[in-house]
Amino acid sequence: MKAGFEGAPLSLIIFISTLTLSLISYFGFLGKDTLILNEEWYKHPWCIITSLFCHSSISQIIYSLLLIYTFRILERRWSTRIFLQRHILINVISLLLSVFVFRFTHKFYSLQTSHTVFIIYYYLEVLPLIKLKIFMLETSDNFFVYFSYIMMLFNNFKDGIFFTLIGLITALISLYPPIYSVFPSLPHSINLMIDSFFDYIDKIQTPFTFIQNNKLQRRQIEGEFMQAMRENINPINEQPNQQTRDQKIQTIMDCGFTREQATFALNNTNGNVENALAFLLDNGNY
């Protein structure tokens, strides 16, 4: 149960960058709009990059950090390298679309850290795993996605539609697999340097790591749970040819999981029931 940024070093970098640059921009420590993309961007070209991490209000900063923390599961699913490629591709496409829209609106619409796009990925890939509890009521994670889009639309009523449209178009393009062939193969030495850097970042402990329950106690509980499940599923696993997919799903559902969770876990563990249960336990805090 990974409550922190373990296995998601790029998400941690984006989290820290967003928090730092947003506060610097909000309080004007480096002057007004020096980190924001605007009509005079050529006077400070670095704003093309920094504007991806800057937000104009405290509420937007908090909401952005929440999304980055939530989307770290995508980095774990795809790998850090693919997550980085998608960030680069999405931000380049959205920047080009923003330049096109600027000709008509005279305002840039930067998709900070690609939230509008990654919500779509999150909706497509992660929803079956998570349930949210709001005031003791358990609701589907659909609520989170719909709420996010409503916030994006009404945060700035006049401009929200442009952010959403740019995000949807960018998502459609980024969902086309051949588009990633534009990334060249890097030399082996550079790949090693990149991997070493992310490995170093991944070792950094964050406050989120210690929000969860006592690790030893949790692992003991999980171990007891897995042992009990092994006793129930071993007779079935001894005769794999006689176990249908529906039987596997039902076995996992008997352990307290939903059909969507069971299907998702089996898809990620090559249909092995025990591995699927371990997968669901390990991803319980996502």
Complete domains list, the chain, with CATH: 9-202 (1.20.1540), 213-282 (no CATH)
Closest CA to 276 of 267, 154, 285, 101: 267
Residue 132 has pLDDT above 70, yes or no: no
Look at the block and give the residue holding tokens 């699913």.
77
pLDDT of 179: 74
pLDDT of 153: 55
Confidence of residue 210 (pLDDT cuts 50, 70, 90): very low
Phi, psi (degrees; rounded to nearest 5) at 175: -80, -5
Confidence of residue 221 (pLDDT cuts 50, 70, 90): very low
- Its pTM stands at 0.60
Which 3 state secondary structure label does DSSP give 249?
helix
- Could you tell me if 170 and 93 are in contact, meaning their C-beta atoms sit under 8 angstroms apart? yes
Look at the block and give the residue holding tokens 């176990």.
243
pLDDT of 128: 52
% of the chain with per-residue pLDDT over 90:
0
State the DSSP code for 32.
T
- Hey, what amino acid is at 187? P
Mean per-residue pLDDT over the chain, rounded: 69
- Give Cβ neighbours of residue 216 (< 8 Å, ≥ 6 apart): none
Residue 15 has pLDDT above 80, yes or no: yes
Cβ neighbours of 234 (radius 10 Å): 11
Beta bridge partners of 131: 140
- Could you tell me if 156 and 145 are in contact, meaning their C-beta atoms sit under 8 angstroms apart? no
Average pLDDT in the 235-242 region? Answer: 51
Confidence of residue 98 (pLDDT cuts 50, 70, 90): confident
Phi, psi (degrees; rounded to nearest 5) at 132: -105, 140
